[in-house]
Amino acid sequence: MTSTGYCRECFTGTLHGDAVLTGRVEHIHGLPTYVAQPEAGTQPKALIVIISDGFGWELRNTRALADSYARRGEFLVYLPDFMDGAAPSQSLLADIDGFMAPSPDWYTTLVKKPYWALKTIALIVPFLFWTRQSVAKPRTVKFFQNLRANPPPFKTQNLKIGVAGFCWGGSHTIFLTQDNPKTRVAPPGSGEGVPLVVCGFTAHPSFVSMPSDILAVRLPLSVANGPDDAFLGREKMVQLTKILEANEDVAHEVVVYEGARHGFANRGDPNDPKQAEMGLRAEDQTVNWFIKHLG
């Protein structure tokens, strides 16, 4: 939902059924996590943690992105279940597409569409409750703190850490780039607390409080968005850009993809050449950003 009503594009998208996933699932610091690694024999250059969109860590699209980041940037990539199992069923994608499409007959109008609408409400309301920031943010911060503080077997305390967040994960990503002193952790052998991440990337972030969230950013941040996004529309994107440009101490990058729909960076329609092309460009933006800052 948005402040102006229902956001169709927030919960629609195309599953990449042809993607051959190469990662594996492990339990890391108490959370089931999809793990993608560089090619065998390649030492990871850094660790990327993905905070998913509203469809959670099991969405095939997001796992395919994790594999791509690992391959292209030679990164170790974690995609944890920060929603603690509360992500809505992926069947919601097809239900909302059917609800929003023109009705081919009276049966669809009178029977199918009311069913799809009720099912959508029944799935989204619990999702919004169980994944609200007051519940999910502490879980997310704790995971990053554990990455920074804990010894092997995870072997991440010496790796630079970047975070990539989509839609629901965008506000959490922006929070991590604010480097709140209260969340800092002192790694083993160090008496000084360090930021949980080095840099962040977010595409079509949701639930961002403007301008306060962006004014608080202290670490390098890259943003990808459409100009008329349901959560960060044209005026807010102009405001976001001006705030980041005014802060000369913070490296930033803001790319506005003209015509991009919400979700284009991780759930873009491969059958729509323009959306597919912008999704690939956003992936390039992400990988290049992390190579630059985590190298």
According to the model, what pLDDT value does residue 57 have?
93
Q: Where are the beta strands (DSSP E) in the chain?
A: 24-28, 31-36, 47-51, 76-80, 161-166, 199-203, 221-225, 252-256
User: Mean pLDDT score of the chain, rounded to an integer?
Assistant: 86
Rounded mean pLDDT, 126-137: 85
How far, in Å, are 18, 36, 66, 247, 255 from residue 78 at the CA level?
A: 22, 7, 7, 30, 25
Q: How many CA atoms lie within 13 A of 169 on its CB side?
A: 29
Q: What is the mean pLDDT of residues 203-214?
A: 94
pTM across the whole model: 0.88
In this prediction, residues 174-185 reach a mean pLDDT of 94
Percentage of the chain surpassing pLDDT 70? 87
The band of 17, judged by pLDDT with boundaries at 50, 70 and 90, is very low
Cβ proximity of 49 and 164 under 8 Å: yes
Condensed to tens digits (0 to 9), the pLDDT of residues 144-177 reads 999 988 755 555 657 899 999 999 999 999 999 9
Please state, in angstroms and rounded to a whole number, the distance separating the CA atoms of residues 64 and 21: 6
Domains of the chain, residue spans? 8-87+131-294
Q: Tell me yes or no: is domain 8-87+131-294 CATH 3.40.50.170.
A: no
Judged against a pLDDT cut of 80, whether residue 238 lies above it is answered with yes
Listed range (149-153, 212-216, 261-265) with the worst mean pLDDT: 149-153
